[in-house]
Amino acid sequence: MVAFSSHVQPYNGFMAVHAIHAVCSHDCPDSCAVLVTVNAEGRAVKIAGDPSQPVTRGFLCGKVARYLDRVYAPGRVLYPMRRRPGIAKGPQSRGREHEAFERISWDEALDAVSARLRAISDRYGPESILPYSYAGTIGVLGYGSMDRRFFHRLGASRLDRTICSEAGGQAWNLVYGKKLGMATEDFRLAKLILAWGANVHGNNIHLWPFIEEARRNGARLVVIDPYRTRTAALADRHIAIRPGTDVALALGLMHVLLNEGLEDRAYIAAMTHGFEQLAARAREYTPERVAAWTGIAPSEIEQLAREYATTRPAALRLNYGVQRCENGGTAVRAIAMLPALTGAWKHRGGGAQLSTSGAFAWDKNALERPDLALASPLGRLGRVVNMCALGHALTQLDAHAGDGPPVHALFVYNSNPAAVAPNHNAVCRGLLRPDLFTVVHEQFFTDTTDYADFVLPATTFLEHTDVQGAYGHYFVQLSQQAIEPRGETRSNVWLFGQLAQRMGFPEACFRDTPEEMIHQALAIGPDGRSTNPGMEHITFEDLERQGHIALAIHADPEAHPFLPYTSGPLATPSGKIELYSQTLAAASLDALPGFNPPIESRWSETAKKYPLELLARKNDNYMNSTFANLPGHRQMEARTNQKLEIHPQDAASRGVAEGDPVRVSNDRGAIELTAMLNAHLPLGVVAARLDWAKQHPAGANVNVLTSERLTDLGAGATFYSTLVEVEKAENRE
């Protein structure tokens, strides 16, 4: 364990303390720099933001400010556990998890799990083993390194990690080639900020002070979101667009600004490809047509277009909210084109940010070692299974008949699929299969551990070392281990290294230490510096000393502000910003953005039976399903816990009043919630929150309603394209 700054001070009069530099590893754009104060007994006694980090500037969100409640929670899984003989899988042991499992040693656990995986691989082929992980930690090692090596060497199926950002990511790359965006700190220079499908206050709080600074200097904030988030409530204007209609709005804005000659011809000529084709398409999207889809008045569309095109600098914070609809890929493509038409990228404080992750060129090959698949029994990389269709993969046993065996073993880590995956009922049916072997590496007894054969104890970011980039800023940060792992908790790197050795994999890379792997991620060269593009000035020792180091593009922002997409060539086929996509044309897809209403929307046949559009939302004080088990965090969400928010008119027409129990249902499932009237919702739109299913009296969560249908680009999840009906619960037969 290496201390970042080990200044010894008196604490409580007796004990020595030191502060260690860590990084919040939760799946959040901010990747906060954290200082953990540890007392002489090795216990973390304080967690705070590191004031020296230029973006996260010394404060933490409400969830992580209470992180010690999580690390030291009485419910932590501290030891390897095996399901007791005779205890069936499923929700019936909820609340009695410690009785359903028995404690075993790590040796027993590793032996038993590796033996079972080997037997399943021998019998059904290695692709019958499916890893299931997402972003429990976004540390570079914890997210994907030793685990990938292990599963490649095994020949297991590969998971297509599409549940979050793939639609938007692919869409952005079709337009710009690479996920870059304006520097977060530069939002303070903007005069107009559009937060489009971006709950800044809830999900990206460290951008908020920069927005506030801009507003103190005269900037206006406009929020485009069907839901009145706190961000929207605090904005100068909230445009409550109907879900899934952003493509139409973006094209409508283009229509107006092109009609009025407000585009930047010089920028368009220099930097873009396909302008004439896009302009022709945009001509079809008159404000009147767009108003009919979006529910936004034509005059408001015109005003927004003029304001956006004539205010400089104009900043767009586009987040992943818009791409959780069936047409979400196209929505991101269309919105991303707006700053290309107005030339907003040219001005510091202008442009857009969806993600900054494309700037971090980690050495993924060294970390993940896809070459190890050649040594697997399969002799090649395993087939790919889309994580959004887990229910399908586990229940339709011939689903993969064409490309491999059914899934017989599921290895879950960094994720809680029995809460977060769409079509929850299908997922749970799959997890209940008696012939499915399930291992879960976790910090807590989640919804998913209810279905596990083995539960293995995982560390938190205070208990392991990692290196991290960000998708909301341009700093590389080292996260140092602050405390000894509680109980027998172990990191992802340790677990998969150990399992590989039990499987008899001879490759030396399975014995790499975290520090060696950080060197590999940075591709440290002979002179001690990283050889990754944009990181050449970074050494491990400097990271240890400073905690955070800006990427080269952001090393001296005052002298050389980063203005992405202002010079070429870009990483697109044409080398330019692609308003017309040759890639899509070649795939026989629409090369231009065009509006198609989602199948699950008010315009579809299904809406006759299920007329309400549901937003199955995240919580400001949880991280997806993380924190939902902690009483302090639940208290912070008490207002909306297990509520169904509904417009008063939609409620009245169903005889529903505030506080009534309501049944929310569709063909996939049903859940009982409590009605909460919300006049800020567009008519026909309802909202509910993601929660642990086991927190609900009937063991359900909103994902009983969401579908496994995939987005138009990137095969992503469509949580925000869900049709339901609502009735008073007493009306049930």
Ligand X SMILES: Nc1nc2c(c(=O)[nH]1)N[C@H]1C(S)=C(S)[C@@H](COP(=O)(O)OP(=O)(O)OC[C@H]3O[C@@H](n4cnc5c(=O)[nH]c(N)nc54)[C@H](O)[C@@H]3O)O[C@H]1N2
Determine the Cα–Cα distance for residues 464 and 78; give it in Å rounded to an integer: 15
* Secondary structure (DSSP) of 602-632: TTSGGGGTS-EEEEEE--TTSBTTBTTT-HH
144-173 footprint of ligand SF4 as x/- string (CB under 6 A): ------------------------------
CB closer to ligand SF4 out of 65 and 585: 65
How many residues of this chain bind ligand X (CB under 6 A)? 61
CB closer to ligand SF4 out of 146 and 164: 164
Determine, following the binding rule CB under 6 A, whether residue 622 of this chain makes contact with ligand X: yes
CB closer to ligand SF4 out of 135 and 671: 135
Could you say which DSSP state residue 241 is in?
P
Contact positions with ligand SF4 (CB under 6 A) in 201-230: 205-206
Using CB under 6 A, pick the residue from 615, 681, 723, 724 that binds ligand X. 615
Which residue, 581, 580, 576, 554, is CA-closest to 565?
A: 576
Determine, following the binding rule CB under 6 A, whether residue 353 of this chain makes contact with ligand X: no
492 binds, among Mo ion, ligand X, ligand SF4, none (CB under 5 to 8 A by kind): ligand X
> Residue 670: which H helix or E strand, with range?
strand 669-677
Segment contacting ligand SF4 by CB under 6 A, of 61-69, 86-94, 242-250, 341-349? 61-69
Segment contacting Mo ion by CB under 5 A, of 150-158, 164-172, 341-349, 659-667? 164-172
Which residue, 432, 500, 420, is CA-closest to 156?
A: 500
Contact positions with ligand X (CB under 6 A) in 464-483: none
Residue type at 121 in one-letter notation: S
Determine the Cα–Cα distance for residues 554 and 469; give it in Å rounded to an integer: 13
Determine, following the binding rule CB under 6 A, whether residue 32 of this chain makes contact with ligand X: no
Determine the Cα–Cα distance for residues 44 and 19; give it in Å rounded to an integer: 9
What residue is closest to Mo ion based on CB?
164
Name the token pair of 325.
């609809």
Name the token pair of 678.
């919300």
Phi and psi angles of residue 682, each rounded to the nearest 5 degrees, phi first? -60, 150
> Residue 254: which H helix or E strand, with range?
helix 246-259
In angstroms, the first-to-last Cα distance of the chain is 61
CB closer to ligand SF4 out of 565 and 627: 627
For residue 192, give the 3-state DSSP assignment: strand
The pairing of strands 548-550 and 158-160 is unpaired
The answer to whether 713 touches 682, Cβ cutoff 8 Å, is no
Q: Kindly state the smallest distance separating residue 281's Cβ from ligand X, in Å.
A: 20
Polymer length of the chain: 733
Determine the Cα–Cα distance for residues 293 and 295; give it in Å rounded to an integer: 6
CB closer to ligand X out of 395 and 449: 449
CB closer to ligand X out of 272 and 601: 601
Contact positions with ligand X (CB under 6 A) in 44-83: none
The answer to whether 113 touches 490, Cβ cutoff 8 Å, is no
319-348 footprint of ligand X as x/- string (CB under 6 A): xxxx-xx-----------------------
413 binds, among Mo ion, ligand SF4, ligand X, none (CB under 5 to 8 A by kind): ligand X
Using CB under 6 A, pick the residue from 61, 235, 248, 253 that binds ligand SF4. 61
Using CB under 5 A, pick the residue from 60, 64, 109, 164 that binds Mo ion. 164
Determine the Cα–Cα distance for residues 573 and 553; give it in Å rounded to an integer: 23
622 binds, among Mo ion, ligand X, ligand SF4, none (CB under 5 to 8 A by kind): ligand X
CB closer to Mo ion out of 165 and 489: 165
Determine, following the binding rule CB under 6 A, whether residue 443 of this chain makes contact with ligand X: yes
The answer to whether 518 touches 467, Cβ cutoff 8 Å, is yes
List of E strands, 678-721: 685-689
Determine the Cα–Cα distance for residues 539 and 526; give it in Å rounded to an integer: 11
620 binds, among Mo ion, ligand X, ligand SF4, none (CB under 5 to 8 A by kind): ligand X
Determine, following the binding rule CB under 5 A, whether residue 612 of this chain makes contact with Mo ion: no
607 binds, among ligand SF4, Mo ion, ligand X, none (CB under 5 to 8 A by kind): none
CB closer to ligand SF4 out of 44 and 390: 44
Determine, following the binding rule CB under 6 A, whether residue 479 of this chain makes contact with ligand SF4: no
CB closer to ligand X out of 89 and 617: 617
Q: DSSP H helical segments within 487-595, as ranges? A: 492-502, 514-522, 540-546, 582-586
Using CB under 6 A, pick the residue from 441, 576, 633, 663 that binds ligand X. 441
Segment contacting ligand X by CB under 6 A, of 99-107, 130-138, 574-582, 675-683? 130-138
CB closer to ligand SF4 out of 124 and 208: 208
Determine, following the binding rule CB under 5 A, whether residue 623 of this chain makes contact with Mo ion: no
490-529 footprint of ligand X as x/- string (CB under 6 A): --x-------------------------------------
* Secondary structure (DSSP) of 270-296: HHEE-HHHHHHHHHT--HHHHHHHH--
290 binds, among ligand X, ligand SF4, Mo ion, none (CB under 5 to 8 A by kind): none
3-state per-residue secondary structure call for 318-337? ECHHHHHCCCHHHHHHHHHC
Determine the Cα–Cα distance for residues 408 and 400; give it in Å rounded to an integer: 12
Segment contacting ligand X by CB under 6 A, of 51-59, 260-268, 413-421, 499-507? 413-421
How many residues of this chain bind ligand SF4 (CB under 6 A)? 13
Determine, following the binding rule CB under 6 A, whether residue 285 of this chain makes contact with ligand X: no
Residue 698 burial (10 A CB sphere; 0-12, 13-18, 19+): exposed
> Residue 342: which H helix or E strand, with range?
helix 338-342
Determine the Cα–Cα distance for residues 676 and 159; give it in Å rounded to an integer: 38
Determine the Cα–Cα distance for residues 46 and 60; give it in Å rounded to an integer: 12
Determine the Cα–Cα distance for residues 461 and 458; give it in Å rounded to an integer: 10
590-629 footprint of ligand SF4 as x/- string (CB under 6 A): ---------------------------------x------
Inter-CA distances, 24 with 61, 163, 461, 468, 469, Å: 10, 21, 7, 9, 11
* Residues at the interface with Mo ion (CB under 5 A): 164
Name the site residues for ligand SF4 (rule: CB under 6 A): 24, 26, 28, 30-32, 60-61, 63-64, 205-206, 623
Catalog residues that contact ligand X under the rule CB under 6 A: 27-28, 134-137, 142, 163-165, 196-199, 202-203, 224-227, 229, 241, 243-244, 246, 319-322, 324-325, 413-416, 419-420, 441-444, 446, 458-459, 492, 615-616, 618-620, 622-626, 690, 702-703, 706, 719-720
